[in-house]
Structures are given as structure tokens and as C-alpha cells.
Amino acid sequence: MANVTLTFPDGNQREYARRITAADVAADISSSLRKKAISATVNGAHWDLQWPIESDSSIALNTMKDEEPALELVRHDLAHIMARAVQEIWPDVKVTIGPVIKDGWYYDFDRKDPFTPEDLGMVEKKMKEIINARDAVRTEVWDRTRAIKHYEDNNEPYKVELIDAIPGDEPLRMYWHGEWQDLCRGPHLQHTGQVPGDSFKLMSIAGAYWRGDSDRAMLQRIYGCAFLNKEQLKKHMNMLEEAAKRDHRKLGREMNLFHMQEEAPGQIFWHPNGWRIYTELQDYMRRKQYAGGYVEVNTPQVVDRKLWEQSGHWEKYQENMFIVEVDEEHAREKAVNALKPMNCPCHVQIFNQGLKSYRDLPLRMAEFGSCNRYEPSGALHGIMRVRGFTQDDGHIFCSEDQIESETATYIEFLSGVYKDLGFEQFRVKFSDRPEKRSGSDEVWDKAEDALLKATRAAGIEPEMNPGEGAFYGPKLEFVLTDAIGRDWQCGTHQVDFVLPERLDASYIGADGDKHRPVMLHRATLGSFERFIGILIESHAGKLPFWIAPRQVVVASIISDADDYVYEVVAALQAAGVRAEADIRNEKINYKVREHSVGKVPVILAVGAREVGERTVTVRRLGEKQTKVEALDSVIKTLSLEATPPDKL
């Protein structure tokens, strides 16, 4: 049998018989490594220790100290262990699929009776029994006929359907965890005892249609989370507890910001307090964009399908668009329009009005564009994931040699906005061509090369995010980290050679000939709705003073102080502070508690002493101590805090 040469990370090479397994390689190196090894990385691919190696390869052996592959294996094995536990408790349950997801895994089951929270406790107990049994994990490759017969004999129709969907040339790998078996690509650990038994938890139960098709069976999905040790699990559970306290939907009710209802799915009813945040943020962005050389425009919300066909959205994005049919007068057929899901084609229409010269470039165009996109009802999430939203959208029309400078200018602009809003740092991802796209490979090569060079020239080395670009061009994604460590993708910056070509945009160059502009799509906040949700959760409702909808409540302690309360409110309002009076016949502790729940940043208490001394007692949100201060001093301080950062 021919030999294979394996190259290790340190550059050393060893020769082995062809079809040697990574487990045998680990044993050959040392008995200690044989026990510690959990998987291998072979030619950059994650490799099961039991899989044979057919040719010369690079190899690295992974242990539990290698966090990324270890987490993947632990979570994947737990999906199988959970499915085994469910079928051992309820043998009539049918199994489907159980992939690894962020922080854990899920598995979908077909069961007549709904799972209950008590059932999850039973499943967890059974899973720990399976882990403690240290049952061996083994794998085999079967032909399709054998695999289908196996699942038909065991009354597992979902597995038969999965096999039918797998391409004919792809091997069918079968895995056993003890005597329990599943169809799976792998890799997996070598025995169930390698899973840490104290670092996972079953989290919740949800419904899920088979294959995501609402016409198919409704399955029951059990979610779990898992880490490499109990300290990591505890940290994650504490983060989830903190996130629940910060949930923008809960705080939105307490602060009386907005509500949503079933008659308008994915749409927001903004209350006065919430709309105040919205307009303050919009006014701030309007000033920043004006200072950044943008011209503001506004474009229609309902546009004929012809424009969407020209732009490519009708072909590439139609499933996310709301279609509107209208009986136009004297027309033989209904006019087919769509609510705009984005603003870019409309901005090209404005650019195309009148002759443009190279001297007009770069032309920075901005719009607070109201957009509508269809999202499945199950994907909607408060104001974070909606169907109707407003983007702080912008498009920069420039020449190719301006891409680098405009990208650097925009990153500087975006950095300033994020810093003003409390986000000092962000990460940048580079998303290249998706499978579903417009434009030739040559155009994409040019666009990706230009954006990557421009990003690096701006001093940023982005993380690579393969296949996640827009259908018309590659993009940068700007990822914020909030106060409890969660990541939020907000801003984007995209290079587009496709739309200007499709929509026939041009300018007259210095040579007197027509040229195509490059179109840079950019959004800083992304959508106002989602960004406001992020702000609420990151600040736990304690918003920066300048953007807080209710900044100050002046509360009376006795009714004889009512006139002074109104005087204080008027003085604060004259100084640009949003202030309101609370002269209800309630105890001051009740008022303080109520306004604290509503996340009012400052409460000024006024009683007989304050009236006589022309002072106020200052209580700031989250602080137990109060402080008596002169009224003039408080007005000066709060007026400064109420000033937006771009005006300081």
C-alpha cells in the first residue's frame, strides 16, 4: 500500500501507510496525545479522528485546549446525545436534524404531545447519564440503498427525505453514540464522556416547520447552550439574565416608548417618548451629514416594477418585496408596483437628472428613507427586526480613483458618530461576492480589490466574511460591541459598479467623454428602529442625557412648593432641557420610584427648604445619594449635558 506524508504545524514531516487515521497518528506520537486528541485539522478542514487520510496532507491534532474545534464538537455531540435521550425516554418520537448554532445547538423532533419545561429536566438528566456512560462514538460510510432501508425499517421518514436531498456523489456518513445512530457529516468526539457534563443547559422549546416550509409538518425544536467548562456556562447564563433585564421590549413598555400589534405586523407605533428619541437621533444625523458634505433628498415609497427590473432587485430580491397592484385608469392591465425595500435605484434617478461633470464628484447623497421588506413573522423581534423601517441611507457617486479617499472619509465619519453615541470601538468585516449576484466576475474582482485596498489604506485590517456581500457589490460591515459584550452589525459601506451600469448613470470626464460613476452605498446606523433598540439595551434604558426622551422631572414634596416647581421647569426649558413637573398628591418616594422605573435621568425634589433657599435636591438615576444644589448651578450643568455632542 502506498504511503502518505503528513506535515505538522512545526514543519516536521512523517510518513505513514495510506488511509491512516488521525487517531493512529496521535497514538504514534504519544500515548498522552492519543488520550487528549479530540479531532484533527487536515488541509484546513475539520477532521474526525476516525476518518482515513488518503494523500499527502498537512495535519494538526486538536485537544480540548483548542477552543474553536472543541466547542464545535462538544455542541455537535450534545445535539446527538439530546436526540438519543429523547428517543430513550419517548421511543415513538421521530428525529430530524440538529445543527450547531451560536452558543449551542438545536434539534427538531416530531412528537404528538408538546414538550414541557419539566420534560427538559428529564432530558437533561438522561443526557448526563449518557455522558457518564462514556459510550464509544463510531462512524461508517454507507451506500444510499442501505441507508434508506435502515431508516425505512426504523420508521424514520425524515431521514429518508434528507438522504433523497443529498447529491448522489456525496458519501453518506453514519454515526453511532453508543447504540443510538444518526445520519451526520461529522466530525464528532470519540466517546460521550469527552463532553463536559456540567457545562451545558437545555434552554427552550419552539415550533419549527420541517425544511422551513409552512405547508409541511410543524416540529418541536429544543434549544441548548454549551461551553467547555461550567465557568463559561455560568458567565453565559449571567449575560442572558442581564440581557433579559435590558430587553428593549420590556424597557419600551416601562419607558412608554412604543408598542406593536397584530394588525400591523413588523410595524411600530411610536409613542411621544419614543418618537422624541427618534427625532433627536435623526436631527443629530442630519447635522452630521450636512457637515460631512452630504445633500439630503427624498424619494417615492411606491415605484413601478420596471425600475426594480432594471436595477436587478426584481430578480434577486423580489421575495423580500411588498408588491402593490393598482387599476390605473384606461390601462388594459393592472400596474404592478413595489414598496421600496431600499433607496439606491431612486438615488440613481436623481443623479441622472441633468448632465454631471467630473467636477461634481464626489456627490454625497443622503436620505432618511422609509423602506419596507418582507420578513417572516417568526423572524420579527420587537423593533430590532421589522418590516417597516427608516435607514440613514447614503450614496456617494464618485470616480474609481476616489474610492480610497471616500472610504477613508466615511470610516472617519462613522467612527465619530459611534463615539458620540457611546461606542468607542468597532470591528469591521469584509463581505465578498454572494452566490446570487449581478455583474461579471471581472467586475466583482475590480470591486472587491478596490474596497479591500481602500479599507487597508484607512488603517483597518478587516475580518473576512465570505459570500455575504450584497448582490450588486462587496461590502464592509461595522460591528459594535455593547455594554454586556454582545455584537451588533450596524453600519455598512459597499462598492457598486453594477447599478450605475444597469441604470445608465454617467458623467462627463476631464477628457470630454462619458464615464460610469462608481456608487458607494453606505448606512451608519443601519435603521433608526434597530439602532434605537441597540441603544436601549446597551444602556439598559439609561440613555445618554442629550437623547433621553424625558430628561428631568421636578417633583414637589409639599403642595406649597408647586409654584416653585413650575418656575424650575420653566427655567430648565428655557435653557434647552426637557423638563416636566410632578405635583401630584403622592409621597416623594412613590414619585421617585415611578420615574426611576421610567428611566428619567434626573429627578429634582422640591420642598419648603428648597423654596426658601432657591435650591433643588438632585437625584440621578442609579445613584442612591442625593445632593442639594443651587438652582442656577443645576440649570447650567444640565443645559450642558442636554447639548448634543456635535454642538459642544
Can you give the three-state secondary structure of 528-554, one letter per residue?
HHHHHHHHHHHCCCCCCHHHCCCCEEE
By three-state DSSP, how is residue 103 classified? Answer: coil
List the one residue out of 638, 570, 564, 573 whose CA is nearest residue 607: 564
Catalytic residue selected from 387, 395, 539, 591: 395
Phi/psi class of residue 607: alpha, beta or left (left: φ > 0; alpha: ψ in -120 to 50)? beta
pLDDT at 170 (0 to 100)? 79
pLDDT at 484 (0 to 100)? 84
The residue behind cell 464545535 is 72
pLDDT at 214 (0 to 100)? 82
CB atoms under 10 Å from CB of 519, counted, come to 26
pLDDT at 324 (0 to 100)? 87
Catalytic residue selected from 108, 135, 305, 344: 344
Query: Hey, what domains does the chain have and what are their CATH numbers?
Result: 3-63 (3.10.20.30), 68-243 (3.30.980.10), 258-538 (3.30.930.10), 550-647 (3.40.50.800)
Catalytic residue selected from 521, 522, 591, 595: 521
* Angle between the N-to-C axes of helices 117-133 and 67-89, in degrees from 0 to 180, rounded to the nearest 10: 110
Amino acid at 12: N
Catalytic residue selected from 119, 182, 392, 393: 393
Q: Which helix (H) or strand (E) holds 394?
A: strand 388-398
How far is 599 from 594, CA to CA, in rounded Å?
9
By three-state DSSP, how is residue 169 classified? Answer: coil
Catalytic residue selected from 475, 522, 539, 595: 475
Catalytic residue selected from 50, 220, 391, 402: 391
CB atoms under 10 Å from CB of 87, counted, come to 17
pLDDT exceeds 80 at position 465: yes
Average of pLDDT values for 473-487? 89
By three-state DSSP, how is residue 323 classified? Answer: strand
Q: Is 395 a catalytic residue?
A: yes
Can you give the three-state secondary structure of 491-517, one letter per residue?
EEEEEECHHHHHCCCCEECCCCCEECC
pLDDT exceeds 70 at position 589: yes
The mean pLDDT value of the chain amounts to: 93
- H helices, E strands: number in the chain: 20, 35
Q: Is 236 a catalytic residue?
A: no
pLDDT at 331 (0 to 100)? 64
CB 95 within 8 A of CB 221: no
Q: Write out pLDDT tens, residues 81-98.
A: 999 999 999 999 999 999
The residue behind cell 417572516 is 376
Average of pLDDT values for 114-139? 96
Q: Is 225 a catalytic residue?
A: no
How confident is residue 406, by pLDDT bands cut at 50, 70 and 90? Answer: very high
pLDDT at 440 (0 to 100)? 86
Q: Is 344 a catalytic residue?
A: yes
Q: Write out pLDDT tens, residues 200-259.
A: 999 999 999 998 888 898 999 999 999 999 999 999 999 999 999 999 999 999 999 999
How far is 410 from 404, CA to CA, in rounded Å?
10
Q: Which three cell numbers stand for residue 529?
A: 428602529
Average of pLDDT values for 527-531? 95
How confident is residue 446, by pLDDT bands cut at 50, 70 and 90? Answer: confident
CB 84 within 8 A of CB 135: no
CB atoms under 10 Å from CB of 512, counted, come to 6
Q: Write out pLDDT tens, residues 264-303.
A: 999 999 999 999 999 999 999 999 999 999 999 999 999 9
Query: What is this structure's pTM?
Result: 0.84
Q: Is 184 a catalytic residue?
A: no
Q: Which residues contact 539 (CB under 8 A, 6 or more apart)?
A: 422, 483
pLDDT at 1 (0 to 100)? 58
How far is 489 from 348, CA to CA, in rounded Å?
26
CB 303 within 8 A of CB 321: no
Catalytic residue selected from 373, 437, 493, 550: 373
pLDDT cut 90: percent of the chain above it: 84
pLDDT at 150 (0 to 100)? 94
Burial of 81 (0-12, 13-18, 19+ CB in 10 A): buried
pLDDT at 378 (0 to 100)? 79
Q: Which residues contact 522 (CB under 8 A, 6 or more apart)?
A: 393, 394, 395, 396, 410, 414, 491, 492, 493, 494
Q: Write out pLDDT tens, residues 552-587.
A: 999 999 999 999 999 999 999 999 999 999 999 999
